[in-house]
Structure 1
Amino acid sequence: MGDDVVLSFHDSLLRVSDVHLLSGPYWLNDNIIGFAFEFIENVLCKDCSGIFSFISPQVTQFIKLVNEPGELDAFLEPLSLSTKKFVALAVNDSESRSDVGGSHWSLLVLDVDSGVFRHYDSSSQHNHDAARLLARQLARYMRIVSDRFVEEEMPQQRNGYDCGVYAIAVAEELCKSEMHIGDVGSANLASITPSYVESCRQRLRKLISELHDEKIHTPN
């Protein structure tokens, strides 16, 4: 089977090697996180589709390191970010503009109306500098004059490879909280335990398998 394509879902493409990362103990790459964001926005929390905008890891990396704000227009104008309530981005500590790579993931969420950036890091603010840079870049593009940056308290990972799963889990909890009670601040982040993170990996693998089978058995 090699490294064949397993699933094409909205703007994400997953191969065998990507899905294998979910079996653990492996660090998740940008393809898996991009898929998870697509699923959260378009399926899991579709009722919040006009509220949340999830930016792919590849575009997030470009935003973080771009030199000229005008370069962002082609990527971000179609997303109409100013019309959303929240913008969510997976932060990576890589300093390469052409390759996400890196060694750690965290989640940055912009409250568009207030201009507040909230950073959720499962490894003791490891990504603080990268997230702060990203926030400044996005604030400049969106003309947010007095942006504020807050490091949010959240459960901490106990290994060196689950950061991406934590970022996905937090994104899910924030969306569900907004969808059900209209307040992301009430999200139950304490529920994101090591066992929950492991179950999240398993759920993602099962989900990809089900979507793969569904596409195979659905007539064009």
Structure 2
Amino acid sequence: MRRADRLFRIVQALRGGRLRTARQLAEALEVSERTIYRDIVDLQASGVPVEGASGYGYVMADGYEMPPLMFSRDEVVALVAGARLIRAFGGLAMAQAAEEALVKIAAVLPEAERHRADAVKIHALTTEPLSDETRALIDRLEAATDARNRMELAYRDAEGAETLRIVRPLGLGFWGKVWTLLAWCEMREDFRMFRLDRIARATPQGTFRPDPSISLAAYLDRERRRRAPPEP
């Protein structure tokens, strides 16, 4: 967890006059109590009205509001452009979430920043929009990846022949026109890429345990080593 996210969550935990000990905060955020003590000191130094002491607990005065979000021009462009790309090429739930995220961000931006967001000239244009079926499949596979659900795929090859594969989904990739699923294929006992436009059905088959050797990081590491130039 990023430090900025952790500080935000500490402030949220202390809202409304709720007393929290350093141990409770540390357990909730999965960090050490020493880290919580340092974070509390930093919050107090930045003007956040946190009161309390080690061994007693901490509380924050009612009525404190976080300052408005401030983004640079490049950050605003990146957020708007990314949301527009997801709206055009992402899953149905992804597109809706991107739209709602922009509404929430605009609600807390100063007026000048809101105008800057509206003026971004980057748009996602396509003459071949994704079908609703493909968008729904993107959402389903993203959720399966997050939940570590094995999936049975009815998969068509380039000639249209269909096979059944049991896979462990590890990540999704977008290649400009085609979405692919990176997965561990239990039949091949190896990493495989599956084009989403060739998946006829995707059915959950129960969860799998995480394995560092069968992961997105392991695949990327293998590809880096495979493509590295030979040592002299």
Higher strand share: 2
Smaller-chain TM-score bracket: under 0.3
Q: TM-score, normalised by structure 1?
A: 0.26
Higher relative contact order (CA 8 A, sep 6+): 1
Q: TM-score, normalised by structure 2?
A: 0.25
In terms of Rg, which structure is larger?
2
